[in-house]
Chains A and B, each alone.
Chain A
C-alpha cells in the first residue's frame, strides 16, 4: 500500500480490506526474506539487496516482489526465504556463496520454476529434502495463533497487517459493550503469558471496576529479560500492529465509560529492531486514525507511548516496571494495593505481557469458544517457546498447550545436537526448574509444569545434554538472580549471595556434605521472605536440580568429580605424548606458562602452575590434550 490515509469508520476499514485484497495479484511471484534478528546476523539484509539488484538487472523487478518480513522462527537455518505462489522454502541462503545462490534462485526458480536443490531443507530424520515448508516437521507440528503473521507480513507495512484482517477485531469491539468484551476474554480462559498465568479477563475486570474515575493506564510489558527467551522480541519485530490492536481492545474494555485511558509499552533497550518496528507501527496507526483521538469515528481515544528499559531484569515485575516508568529505581512494592487499584502514578493500571496482548484480537475475531477448543482443561490456547540450547532445530515455536516436552524437543526440535543424550529441559529461566529426561512425556501446561517443580514462565525452553553440568547450571542461574536482585528484601539480597557462594564452592571442588542441606534451607527461606517474583522463584533451579540430580551434587562433593566434565576446576589437563607433534600451540595459548617443551618434541603441563582454564585444550589441533 503506497499511501497512508485516514480511516474514518469501521466500514472504511472493511472497504480498504477488500480493496487491498483486490489489488493483490495471486500469480505475482513474492520472495519473502526473513529480516528477524537471527537471519540478519547471518546476512539476510545483504541477501535481500543482492536479490533486488539481480532482479533489476534481469528486468524482472516489476514481476517479482521482495518482502522483508519478521522472524520465521527457524533461526537455526537462517537466512530463510520463501517463494510464493511456488511454495518453495530455501534456507541457509547465501551463507557460503551469496552471488551464486542469488543467481541460481533468479535463473532457476523465478524464470523456470525449478528448485535449487542445495538450498532445500533436508529432514534429519528421514533424510528427505522438503520443498514446501508445510512439510517440514519444525513447522507442520506447530499451531500458529500468536505467530499468525510472523514471517508473512512486512512489519513496517500497516497495509500488510490490514490486508490480513488487521484491526477488524478493534472495529468489532468498538461496537460492543465494554463488559461484553471483558466477558468474551474471561470466557476464553486466556491466562497471562508472562509467567504467572493469571486469568486475563478477570484482571481486566478488576481494573475496570476500580474506584478511581480519573484515569486508567494500560501497559504492555515487553521487558523480556529471562535469559534464553526471545518470544516477545520476535513478535514485536515481526508483527507490531497486533500488539497495538490487543492493547486498544484492552483499553476500550477497561476504560470506556469509566475514565480516559493512556498506554505505555515498556520495552528493553537491548532490542533495537523491536523498538524501531513498534515505533513505526504506532506512527502509522495514528496517521490512519486507528490509534489516537476519536478512533474510527467512535469517540474513543487512546494514545501509546514507548518507554525503553535501562537494563534491569527485576523491571519485568509489574510494580518494579511501574516504578521505572515513573523515573525511579526499579524496585518492587508490596501488594496490596495491586496495580489494578493503584498503579502507575497512583492510578488503576492494567499490565499484560506482549504474547497475552497478541492473543486478544484473535479471540475477539474467532470467539471464546474457538479459543477454548485449543489446549488442556485449565490451560487454553497455545504457548510460544524459544527452543534453544543443545537441540538441533533452535528457534521459535508455537504449540497447543498440552503437547508433550518430547514432541517439542524431538519432533519439532529434531532431537539433540550431535545425537548426544538428553539430560534435562529447563523451563521458565532463572525462575523455573530443570525437568529430568524421564519426565519428557509430561504434557506442557501451567499445572503440570508446577507439579514437577518447574513453571511455564515466559517461554524459554533450554535443552541440556550429557555435557551440561546441572550443578554448574544452578550456579549460573543463581549468579544471575543474585546480580539482578534489587536488594530491597534481605532474604533475597543475602540469601541468593550465600547460595551463590556455596554453589561456587561446590563447582570448584571445595564443597562439603553440609552444603546441600544448607542450600535447601536457604532456598525455602528466600522463597518465603521475598516480596516479588524474583526472590520467590530464585531458588527454583537449585531446588529442582537437588530433587532430580542430587547424585551430580554428591559426585562433586564426595568424589571431587564433575560427571558432565563441565566444571573446569575439577578437570586435570595433560599431554598425550604419542599424539603431540610439538607445534607449540598450547604453549603459546597458556596464560600462566604452565606448558613447556622443545619444538617438535612432546610438551608437558606443570600441574602446580596449571589454572585449568582449558586454553591448551582448545588450542590443540591434534587432540593431544587429555581432559579428565
Chain B
C-alpha cells in the first residue's frame, strides 16, 4: 500500500489528478476527493502537495480533511464494509449487524484488519431505509440483512466471490 510510497511514485500518481483541477480554493474538497480516490487514503505527503498546489495553508487543508467524515488519514482495507446507522436501520437492528461483523472478522467500527483485508465503518443514513437494516460492502448495498446473512456475505467476500 501507499504507506511507504516513494516521492517519485507519489508524484507520478498525483500529476494526472491535479491536472484536472484549477488552482483555486474552491477546488479543495473535490481535489481531496480525487486524491483519495487514487491513493485510497490521504497520506501526509499528499496533503502537503495539495496545500502547495492550491496555495492554501496546510492547517486549513487539515481543518477540512478532519471536518468531513469521508476523508481518511489512514490506509483503508481492500474490502470496505459500511454499516448504516440511519433511524430505520437503528430500530430494525443495525447493532446486531455490527456485532455480527465484529464477531466474524474481529474488526470494530472505525478499524482496519491487520492483514489489510477489511475496513469497517458505521456510516450515516445511506437512504436505503426500505431495506433496513442495510449495509454496503464494496459499494454494493445489501438489505434487509440478518446476522446470518452478514456471515455469509463476509465469507463470500473473503473467498473472492466479491460483493
Contact = CB atoms under 8 A, between A and B. Distances in A.
Interface stretch (A190-198, A269-277, A553-561): A269-277
B33 A269 contact: yes
12 contacts: A37-B128, A225-B125, A229-B129, A270-B126, A271-B127, A308-B29, A312-B68, A389-B92, A390-B91, A394-B129, A613-B99, A618-B147
Contact of B99 (A75, A233, A480, A615): A615
Interface string B103-144: 100000000000000000001111111111010000111110
B53 interface: no
B141 to A, nearest CB: 4
A313 B129 CA distance: 17
B86 interface: yes
Interface string A357-399: 0000000000000000000000000000010111000111000
Interface stretch (B8-16, B20-28, B154-162): B20-28
Interface stretch (A163-171, A322-330, A346-354, A448-456): A322-330
A31 interface: no
- Which size bracket describes the interface of A in this complex? 35 or more
Interface string A226-262: 1111100100000000000000000000000000000
Contact of A227 (B24, B71, B85, B140): B85
Contacts of A484: 124
A228 B139 contact: no
Given A426-B87, A462-B87, A230 B129 contact: yes
Most A C-beta atoms less than 10 A away, residue of B27, B130, B132, B139: B130
B128 to A, nearest CB: 6
A332 interface: no
Interface string A293-334: 000000000000001111111000000000011111110000
B124 A225 contact: yes
B30 interface: yes
Closest 6 CB pairs of A and B: A75-B130, A228-B87, A230-B127, A310-B68, A327-B28, A227-B125
Given A37-B128, A228-B125, A330 B85 contact: no
B90 interface: yes
Contacts of A224: 127
A496 interface: no
Nearest to B132: A388
Interface of A: 37-38, 40-42, 75-76, 78, 224-230, 233, 269-272, 307-313, 324-330, 386, 388-390, 394-396, 426, 429, 460, 462, 464, 468, 473, 476-477, 480, 484, 486, 589, 591, 613-615, 618
Contacts of A591: 103
B129 A386 contact: yes
Interface residues of B, number: 45
Contact of B29 (A271, A327, A395, A614): A327
A128 B46 CA distance: 62
A263 B12 CA distance: 34
B124 A389 contact: no
A329 B67 contact: yes
B139 A272 contact: yes
A201 B134 CA distance: 39
B128 A329 contact: no
B128 A330 contact: no
